[in-house]
Amino acid sequence: MTPKQHADCPESEALTPAALVRTEAAALEALASRLEGPMASAFDRAVELILNCGTCNGRVVVTGMGKSGIIAQKIAATLSSTGSPALFLHPAEAVHGDLGVLMPGDVVIALSASGETEEILRLLATLKRKGDALISFCCNLSSTLATASDVVLDCGVEREACGMNLAPTASTTAMLALGDALAVAVSLRKGFRPEDFAELHPGGKLGKRLASVRDLMHAGEGIPVVSPATPMTDVIYEMSSKKLGMTTVQESGRLVGVISDGDLRRLLEHEGGAALSKTAGEAMNPHPRTIAVGELAARALSILEERKITSLIVVDQDQHVEGVLHLHDLWGMELI
């Protein structure tokens, strides 16, 4: 759609903040309706093109000029963070050598409201020759860019959220939402998991929230371990030396029980000095709480809080012990 003239919308209505937001919201509602209707097949085709380029080690190259270029950078970042390698190509720099980043197998997403952005049109011949496919986000479906594209996705808006109906506002919002929808749809088709997301976001609070049990657990020599026949004096020594306030009880590497500080205190209260004559097998809790190595730290914290315990034993499917996760290990993760 082409923008309406300023006279079509009274200035007082256009300049009301609430009206401006509603204008952008209306653009998103219209976009959603197109995705459910006439644009559904084109969107699915765009998803397929990105999925196919990934299978042959291709990347998604996103380009745009001006405000559309800023949106293009965000779309490239979202694609990369959800498992689809992507990069931003500045169209003005591209004609001065940056086109060298484009490789066979790459899919190009070009953003241009008018579809006639001069800097992008200069690239069309090379994009079509070197890239695997061209997807465009356009408001003008009869434009040069739209006509040259393998898939064109309609970002048209009734009007921009601007008193003069000129500044890219509603149209760039529609482009942004469409890029998000495309990136998420591709990630869902790939079966992208929270664990995959965590690997791509190791820093900051988000990375901490998505840390896995594997990243935090005590493993190898750090695991306190005794056998069922171990005397309680040796059990106490193992618990003290490993400083986790507990010990696993294992047979041939498989978990058969656990003894915690709390278990030891209760045993002493009940048995007195006779408690020290018992073995680990007689004193242990034979039903300890366990967790898999690939679970998220947030899930581990939920179990610890729910059960009011301080440790989880990390085991594989055959109950072989792989590690111990302690509540103290979560303190520095900003999860508590």
CATH class of 6-192: alpha beta
271 and 278 in contact (C-beta within 8 Å)? Answer: yes
Half-sphere exposure for 330 (CA within 13 Å, toward CB): 23
85 and 114 in contact (C-beta within 8 Å)? Answer: no
Tell me the CATH number for domain 213-333: 3.10.580.10
Query: Collapsing DSSP states into helix, strand and coil, what is residue 320?
Result: strand
pTM: predicted TM-score of the whole model, two decimal places: 0.66
* Domain boundaries of the chain, sorted by first residue: 6-192, 213-333
Using the predicted structure, report yes or no on whether residue 10 has a pLDDT greater than 50: no
Query: What is the predicted pLDDT for the residue at 195?
Result: 62
Q: Lowest-confidence range among 89-93, 147-151, 191-195, 307-311?
A: 191-195
Averaged pLDDT, 280-284: 94
DSSP string, 49-72: HHHHHHHTT--EEEEE-THHHHHH
* Type of residue found at 100: G
Query: What is the predicted pLDDT for the residue at 66?
Result: 95
Whether 96 has a binding-site annotation, put simply, is no
Residue 197 banded pLDDT, cuts 50, 70, 90:
low
Q: Lowest-confidence range among 11-25, 97-111, 224-238, 264-278?
A: 11-25
Query: What is the predicted pLDDT for the residue at 99?
Result: 87
Using the predicted structure, report yes or no on whether residue 207 has a pLDDT greater than 80: no
Whole-number Cα distances in Å, 20 to 71, 142, 215? 19, 28, 46
- Tell me the helix, strand and coil percentages in the chain, rounded to 5: 50, 20, 30
Indicate the average pLDDT of the chain: 88
- What percentage of residues in the chain have a pLDDT greater than 90? 64
Distance CA 45, CA 182 (A): 11
213-333 shares the fold of 6-192: no
Residue 202 banded pLDDT, cuts 50, 70, 90:
low
Distance CA 188, CA 135 (A): 20
Query: What is the predicted pLDDT for the residue at 194?
Result: 66
